[in-house]
Every structure is written in C-alpha cells, then in structure tokens.
Amino acid sequence: MLNTICIMGLGYIGLPTATVLASRKKRVVGVDVSQHVVDTINRGDIHIVEPELDILVHAAVGSGHLHAVTSPEPADVFLIAVPTPLTHAHRPDLSYIESAAKAIAPVLRKGNLVVLESTSPVGTTEKMAGWLADTRPDLSFPQQAGEESDIRIAYCPERVLPGRIVHEIVANDRVIGGMTQRCSQAAIAFYRLFVQGECIATDVRTAEMCKLAENSFRDTNIAFANELSMICDQQGINVWELIKLANRHPRVDILSPGCGVGGHCIAVDPWFIVDSTPEDAKLIRLAREVNDAKPDWVIRKVEQAVDELTGCGLNARDIRIACLGITFKADIDDLRESPALQITQILAERHAGQLRVVEPNLQTLPDSLRNMQVTLMTLNEAILDAHILVLLVDHTDFRNTRPDLKGRQRLIDTRGIWKNTK
C-alpha cells in the first residue's frame, strides 16, 4: 500500500519530491519545522527558487494532494530529506536526521517503509534504524528481524542538479540500498511511482558511499582544474586554451577552473569521507583544501591589480572594484557556500565604499553585504564605473556581453569567458 507519503523536510529535495508524488495522485503530507515554510506551501507558494517548482506546488496544493504541517502524520511511506550540515570542525551534524527519526517513530505502523535521502556518512541509515527501534520497542526493525521486520528501511541518495531538479528528480537513475532485500524491493516499488530512470538495488552502506563518491569525484576533478589554472598563471599560459587543447585527447576531460567550489553538496560531502577514514582519504582531503584555497588566490590577484594601478598613479582609496556574480554557480540565485560571495565580502571589508556588485539573479544584496557600503549595479554600469572587474560567476548575461575595457581598466576573469577581451 503506497497511498500516503509523509516527507520530512520541505527543502530543495523534499518539496520537489512531494509535488511529483502529488502529481501522481498520492496523498502527500509535507513536514517542516518552519511554520513560515508550512504556511507558504499551504498558500500554494514556494520559499525557494527552482525553475517550474512554483507551478508544481501550486497545482499539488490546489488539487488537495499536498498539504504541509509541522509534525508528521501516519503514512505508508516516510521519506527523510533534511539537511546534514558540517560542524566547524568539518564533522557531519546528524542532529536533523535524529530529530526527524524521533518525530516519525510515534506514528510508525507495521508495514511502513522509511527511506533516508539526506546525504549521510556511511552507517547513518543503521543509526537511524537504531533511533527508531529505541523509541518503538513494540515494532521489529531490519537490524533485529532481518527480512521479517515490521518496518522496512532503505537509503536512496538524491542526485538532482540545482536548476534542473524538476526534470532530474524523474529522469535520473536511483541507487537504492535496503537494509535487507525486502527493504530494497519495497523502496524500489515506491520510487517507481515517479522515477523514469532505472532503480538499482544495492546494500545500504554502498548506497550511502555512492553519493559521497559521486560528489567527491567531481570535487577532485574541479580541484585538478583549479590547481592547473594557478600553475598556468605562474607559467604565463592561458589555461582555457590549454584545457580546450588537452580535452581533444580522447581520454582527457578536464573540468573548468573557477573562483572556488560552492553549494551545499560538493563543498561539503567529501568531508564525510575524510571524517570517517582520515588516514586513507588523502587525495579527497587535499582536493577540498585546493578548492577552498582558490578564493584567497583570486583575492591576491585583485590586490596585485590594485598595486599595479596605484603604481600608475591612482590613489588606492579611489580604486573601484566590481565583482561580477556572487551566487555559487551560474544562472541561479543560491548563495550557499558561495566562494564568489566570500571573495566579495573580503574585498568589501578591505576596500570600503569602493565595492560594486553585479548579480542579475538577485533583486537586492544579501544581508552580509547590505551594511558594507556595497553598491548593486548593472553590468553596463559596472563596466563604465570600475577600475577592476572581477568576473566570478559565468552567468549567461555575462557570457552574452563583450566588454570594451578602457585604458587602465583591469579584468580578472576567473571563469575564462572573457579571455579574449583586451
């Protein structure tokens, strides 16, 4: 029986999943700790920005298939999609999963399926099963009863790309790790309600590691590109031309350097591996460190440009700097872990009153910049106004522009999209 689905956490993963299930005529109870989020969704609105999601939520609430609440209700399937942030010491914080598990435990019934989707260190699903069993000694769980358990438990990582979530949540293949084979089969039956990609069964620890490996693979490859960009800069080589040439090799596919790695996934998940196996995860840790150090390198390039301009007779306090793009990647409004925002904040502190920001995906500056005498302006205004342009994010608007730089104007292009500009 898969009629009622209770989704814990109505963020970037929980909310799209809830609406897709609602569009398949399932009764979906969305749970979030934030009353504001619950009220917004029950009005048919959304609290996050993601293409097409607003239409889906409006339809799901309007048809009566989705409603949001602050505490869980009995259901056939419970899906947990809450955050797993990092602590300051780069350790995973599982407290949101623990709270979600403890919240659903009282309403669990024999025959229920519980699926964890939150990105998690290996072993978390088994821990979650332990928290559920501690609260409900009247029910049996896979760690105690194996295939005969009352409750089925599985881990299935989300893999959707922000900006393409509505498409990828249906189209992507899913890796499904049940605590037993029956758990995997139950979870596969659930995902087949809305997934058009393949659903592939494995064990729970492999599924947890699969997610971490995917994002660590990307982080490590971006670190290679970022390191190469710094090496090429030292050697007087245009890294963008170099990568284009190297990628003509049939087995070489170098990614794009940038100003660092942001977002809530790639900059975070590799630390889960490092935390579990610090002795062995050498390359994964180093890649994180290389990517985390890239913003400092960009700031040093800006300071070098400031020095050059003061060497040409400009007063350092008069030098205006424009940061182009502050989101964590192109064509989104998401600022989480954004290296571009980090760079802009540091430059705004050092060059008070002289910092300009161009961000076509935001109407207003974030709080962290609002009180720092930073001016939000259009790209054309910035090109006319700034002595130093720092291109941080490869937004389409920027790609479609060919700036005509004047005289002593300097360009630091961290994305290589204006590389042929004078």
What is the DSSP pairing of strand 152-155 with strand 174-178?
antiparallel
Interaction between residue 297 and ligand SAJ (CB under 6 A)? no
Reading the block at residue 11, the tokens are: 């963020």
Interaction between residue 159 and ligand SAJ (CB under 6 A)? yes
Task: Please identify which residue in 160, 207, 228, 302 interacts with ligand SAJ, judged by CB under 6 A.
Answer: 160
Task: Please identify which residue in 55, 145, 161, 312 interacts with ligand SAJ, judged by CB under 6 A.
Answer: 161
The residue (of 32 and 158) whose beta carbon lies closer to ligand SAJ is 158
The residue (of 112 and 215) whose beta carbon lies closer to ligand SAJ is 215
What minimum distance in Å lies between the beta carbon of 340 and ligand SAJ?
A: 8
Q: Which stretch binds ligand SAJ (CB under 6 A): 35-43, 189-197, 236-244, 250-258?
A: 250-258
Please provide the size of the chain in residues. 422
User: Which helix or strand (DSSP H or E) is residue 97 part of?
Assistant: helix 95-104
**Which residues are identified as catalytic?**
211, 265
Interaction between residue 328 and ligand SAJ (CB under 6 A)? yes
The residue (of 30 and 295) whose beta carbon lies closer to ligand SAJ is 295
Interaction between residue 214 and ligand SAJ (CB under 6 A)? yes
Task: Please identify which residue in 255, 286, 293, 372 interacts with ligand SAJ, judged by CB under 6 A.
Answer: 255
Q: How many residues belong to the site for ligand SAJ (CB under 6 A)?
A: 20
Separation of alpha carbons 359 and 267, rounded Å = 22
The residue (of 12 and 141) whose beta carbon lies closer to ligand SAJ is 12
User: Which helix or strand (DSSP H or E) is residue 357 part of?
Assistant: strand 355-358
Separation of alpha carbons 9 and 99, rounded Å = 11
Interaction between residue 227 and ligand SAJ (CB under 6 A)? no
What order of strands is seen across the sheet that includes strand 199-203?
Answer: 66-69, 27-31, 4-8, 77-80, 113-116, 152-155, 174-178, 199-203
Task: Please identify which residue in 14, 121, 263, 403 interacts with ligand SAJ, judged by CB under 6 A.
Answer: 263
Count of alpha carbons within 13 angstroms of residue 67, beta-carbon side? 8
What minimum distance in Å lies between the beta carbon of 208 and ligand SAJ?
A: 13
The residue (of 159 and 410) whose beta carbon lies closer to ligand SAJ is 159
Contact 337, 328 (CB under 8 A): yes
Separation of alpha carbons 418 and 225, rounded Å = 18
Contact 101, 131 (CB under 8 A): yes
Interaction between residue 265 and ligand SAJ (CB under 6 A)? yes
Reading the block at residue 342, the tokens are: 């980090």
What minimum distance in Å lies between the beta carbon of 329 and ligand SAJ?
A: 4
Interaction between residue 72 and ligand SAJ (CB under 6 A)? no
Instruction: For residue 274, give every residue at least 6 positions away whose Cβ sits within 8 Å of its Cβ, in sequence order, or none.
Output: 90, 281, 284, 285, 288
Binding residues for ligand SAJ, rule: CB under 6 A, are 119, 158-162, 214-215, 218, 222, 255-256, 258, 261-263, 265-266, 328-329
